[in-house]
Amino acid sequence: MASDPGWELYRSFLGVLKEGSLSGAARALGVAQPTVGRHVAALEQALGLALFTRSQFGFTPTEAAIALRPYAQTLATTAAALQRVAASQGSGVRGTVRITASDVVGVEVLPPILARLREAHPDLVIELVLTNRVQDLLRREADIAVRMMRPQQESLIARRIGNIELGLHAHRAYLARRGTPRTEAALAGHALIGFDEETAFVRSLRKSLGGMRREAFALRTDSDLAQLAAIRAGYGIGACQVALAQRDSELVRVLRKQFTLQLDTWVTMHEDLRDSPRCRVTFDALVAGLTGYIGGSAARADD
């Protein structure tokens, strides 16, 4: 290798991998198309590898490109983390914090918590990544994670919040049309809402799901937000966080004794960030806000 390729070459390489063309990568990266083309050609020359097959349909990655992708993505993650740390330097709480959470928690639970945090620290910027994939905090894909499982990685600061309860719910209008099931067997006569792909997480809950099997669902989607929206629209019966359903008087819990799931909830971050003012205040705000969310649900359930 004549010289070490600069980060900008790998950045363009990742852009073409994602977008499938020079023009698409140029738009995504905010640079000129010829620049992306020169970067890809320079990287291929430096590595001595063909990274893409060019055709009228776009750029198809070669086997070499696919093998290099995770390493280039690690560079991108590190570069983004470096920028977040650099932007946070100076006095006070400032800079960017990248948080990852599930889509339902990120959309339905975190916004008021983050709004209060922003009010207290106006120089703080939040990047919110909504995914059910467990992002790697050790590789700095995110600074802080809200996870529905106990973290297994070492070198992490982890705070257990408690259990978020899931129960079966339906809209009042749906139950008025179709009746309220009184037994698990009665679910067979209802429109059930559930997952499409049976993931490792779903398999781990198989014993608790009872009759909630993929083949029984009248609506299948792996988006928890889509499932929640379908329940709210009166499509049928599906699993919903009890605390969320308690906010909406039109949602009714069914088969309470027969169906309940407890999601063990944690807030985690890398131990190297414990002395970062931006991460520390964000971590504490998430812990306090989520503790209140879970505690409020338990208090309402006891009323």
Which two tokens mark 222?
Answer: 């792996």
Beta strands in 142-280 (DSSP E): 144-147, 156-171, 192-194, 217-220, 237-241, 251-254, 261-270
Query: 229: closest CA among 63, 64, 101, 108?
Result: 108
Residue ranges of alpha helices (H) inside the chain are 7-19, 22-29, 33-47, 63-87, 103-104, 110-120, 172-178, 200-204, 206-209, 224-233, 242-245, 277-302
How far apart are the C-alpha atoms of 165 and 298, rounded to whole Å?
Answer: 9
The residue whose two tokens read 């009184």 is 182
- Domains, the chain, with CATH or none: 7-79 (1.10.10.10), 87-162+264-302 (3.40.190.10), 163-263 (3.40.190.10)
SS3 270: strand
How far apart are the C-alpha atoms of 253 and 259, rounded to whole Å?
Answer: 10
Helices and strands (DSSP H and E) totals, the chain: 12, 11
Query: What is this structure's pTM?
Result: 0.71
The two beta strands, 192-194 and 237-241, are: parallel
Sequential pLDDT tens for the chain (303 residues): 456 788 889 889 999 988 888 888 999 889 999 999 999 999 988 888 899 988 777 788 999 999 999 888 888 877 877 777 776 666 678 888 999 999 999 999 999 999 999 999 998 999 998 887 665 665 667 889 998 888 776 678 889 999 999 999 999 999 999 999 999 889 988 999 998 887 666 666 666 666 677 888 999 999 999 999 999 999 999 999 999 999 999 999 999 988 888 999 999 988 888 888 888 999 999 999 999 999 865 545 554
SS3 282: helix
Q: Which residues contact 189 (CB under 8 A, 6 or more apart)?
A: 178, 181
